[in-house]
Structure 1
Amino acid sequence: MEKEYVDEGRSLPLVSVIIMNYNYAEFLPVAIESCLRQTYPKVETIVVNDGSTDGSAQVIESYGDRIIPLLKPNGGQASALNAGFAASSGDIICLLDADDLFLPERLAHVVELFRSASDVDWVFTESAPIETEDIGLEKLDSLFETIRAMPVSEQIEKIDFRQQLRQGKIPGFTPSTSNLCFSRRIAEKLFPLPAIKGLSGMAITDLYIKTPAVGLSVGYRTTRNLGVYRFHNNYYKNLNVDKKRRMFGEIYTTTGYWIKQNFPELSKISQKLLAKGYATYRSSSHASDYCADADCDQMLQTYLAQSNWLKRLEIYLMIAYYRFRLRFKSFV
């Protein structure tokens, strides 16, 4: 059983949880309830409905003033995150996909890590992968107890990866969206995100958020499972390899391009992401599919035009290298 949060007399930071939802009405109640049942007392739950065509709006309406509802036309993941952040007031910002959920003690642990050092600007956690049939409102308590009993060796590490990332090294410790928390201080540098939708609706994803955050600031990573990642047949799982490459290529190319535009001090990592993304994009038979706001060919040409001849040569060589590697891989 989780313990109630006990404060030590210090003022408590407000935590804003931004739930992003698109056509997940069947999962949304569990995600919302997992936020409302937190042991930490100062939480605002913002639910962004990104133009869903199912019953999501009715689910959100049923919670009344217990949440902050945002209903908007479909604009993709970045657009939904921008709307959620604009509506937030929290000192700490946590992200949650509508098909995932938090353990009741998650935010209490996250807050303690933020409060442990004044220079901490991000906290990354982990989530237990659970089949969707084992998740339901009536099963939450037993599910949480099962996850707490899992034999996971918790490691908490304070990480300063700024120098390595600026040298072009991709961090291997950055988890998925629902495990990401940021201070408002760093979030105000990251938001608003480029509202690029692309063919999949996810041309700008958590890759764009967590990469600059790690390159600009210090944070904590804990291996403790403080959430649940739901296994189900989502959009990505139903794509064939060729379409996955198209989607991956679009995400990485767009991310690399926009990191260069907004964070020029991170040019080496932006170059690597763009080259890897463009190589993957060109390896897909769907590379000819045109999307106005995520035109990979145009982004590459603009990036090259902003670079000197030596950088252009490096980029071409990196693209050739990644394309060669893709010949021997089933995906990326």
Structure 2
Amino acid sequence: METQPLVSIIINNYNYDRFIAEAIDSALNQTYDSVEVVVVDDGSTDTSRSIIDGYGDQVVKVFKANGGQASALNAGFAASTGEIVCILDADDIFLPQKVSEVVDLFRANSEIGWVFTESTPVKTKALVNVERTEFYKNIFVNNSSESPKLVDFRSELKKAKLPNFTPSTSNLCFRRTFLEKIFPLPECKGSSGLAICDTYLNLLAVGLGAGYVTTRNLGIFRVHENNLYSTQSFDNKRRIYAEIRIATAYWMRIRFLEFNKLSKKLFSQGLSAYLASGSNLKDCKELIEKYFANLRFHERLEVNCVTFYYLLKSRLSKPV
């Protein structure tokens, strides 16, 4: 890795004109110098594109028709050139030191493929009329002093054991050569637009290579009324969960057969949630049919038994 490797920050945006400028500014105002900011607008119908256009040649602009998060990330990755790639949702924010700390971790170990960070949740109203420099500084100086952990979870993932660290999109950073093993992502949008999202990406990353997990908050996760998952009702959360699990399981089996055991576990979890929710989502139904069509008889029996177990477990527990 070069002394100052180029870092691409890919921002994916859909109808977040009230947030996109702050996300772009946070990417441009890094303490690390060698940064390329790629902004993908996924067919917004608000004023997002005019705001993005206002940055001129400070950013690489990608305007495309709406295709969901996976489609937007594919377009951003194709337009980027950095040796390291960091992903930022348009409603989130990077602290100024984010890229610098991430690069230091990649420099520390040439064998790792990924770095997962943390972000502190902040309600939108808490960011109104606040002096940003001081606000960001307070988050940074009060950060965890715990050292990053080198994690190699590959053998466990192949045994279908799920990691207990599940970072959201804006906490994912990768070495480009490593990310090329996973991209392009399957452009499976689903009803939520998130059928293929950070779940697919971070699970495959953990399964394909070692990396660092740090508990340091190097960004802000903005909590607002339009957070697609966190603000949903229990029933809607369950439907989105089912869609993500089923799509992740299907494409994992199609593209990475070495994770077949995990794929069946994820599919059973998703199918049980789908059945419990009483959903009739066309995309989900099609993927369920395709998944079963690819299973041998004993695998179908196994998946049905595990699905029944998860379904029974969900009915015995209370919604949270």
Q: What range is the shorter-chain TM-score in? A: over 0.9
Superposed, which structure 2 residues align to 1:18-167 within 5 Å?
18-135=10-127, 139-150=131-142, 152-167=144-159
Query: What amino acid sits opposite 1:277 in the alignment?
Result: G
Deviations 1:150-184 (CA, angstroms, capped at 9, x unpaired): 36342310000000000000111121000000111
Deviations 1:219-267 (CA, angstroms, capped at 9, x unpaired): 0001011111111111334532222211110110000110110111111
Q: Provide the C-alpha distance between the structure 2 equivalents of 1:112 and 1:102, rounded to a whole number of angstroms.
A: 16
Alpha-carbon distance, 1:101 to partner? 0.6
Q: Check 1:311–1:326 CA distance in 2 against 1; reply closer, same or farther (3 A cut).
A: same
Alpha-carbon distance, 1:116 to partner? 1.0
Which runs of 5 or more structure 2 residues have no equivalent in the other structure? none
Identity %: 47
Match of 1:6 in 2: none
Query: What amino acid sits opposite 1:109 in the alignment?
Result: E
Query: What amino acid sits opposite 1:269 in the alignment?
Result: L
Deviations 1:31-64 (CA, angstroms, capped at 9, x unpaired): 1011111011111001111111111011101100
Alpha-carbon distance, 1:268 to partner? 1.1
Q: Provide the C-alpha distance between the structure 2 equivalents of 1:67 and 1:298, rounded to a whole number of angstroms.
A: 39
Query: Do 1:30 and 1:136's aligned partners in 2 also have CA atoms closer than 8 Å?
Result: no
Query: Do 1:31 and 1:98's aligned partners in 2 also have CA atoms closer than 8 Å?
Result: yes
Q: Provide the C-alpha distance between the structure 2 equivalents of 1:24 and 1:31, rounded to a whole number of angstroms.
A: 10
Match of 1:279 in 2: 272
Deviations 1:106-138 (CA, angstroms, capped at 9, x unpaired): 101101111111210000000111111222686
Match of 1:288 in 2: 280
Query: Do 1:123 and 1:182's aligned partners in 2 also have CA atoms closer than 8 Å?
Result: yes
Give the TM-score normalised by structure 2.
0.95
Match of 1:326 in 2: 314
Q: Provide the C-alpha distance between the structure 1 equivalents of 2:178 and 2:197, rounded to a whole number of angstroms.
A: 17
Query: Is the aligned partner of 1:17 residue 2:9?
Result: yes
Match of 1:239 in 2: 232
Query: Do 1:126 and 1:225's aligned partners in 2 also have CA atoms closer than 8 Å?
Result: yes
Deviations 1:65-101 (CA, angstroms, capped at 9, x unpaired): 0001111111111111111011010111110001101
Which runs of 5 or more structure 1 residues have no equivalent in the other structure? 1-8
Number of aligned pairs?
A: 319
Query: What amino acid sits opposite 2:258 in the alignment?
Result: E
Query: What amino acid sits opposite 2:263 in the alignment?
Result: S
Query: Is the aligned partner of 1:306 residue 2:281?
Result: no
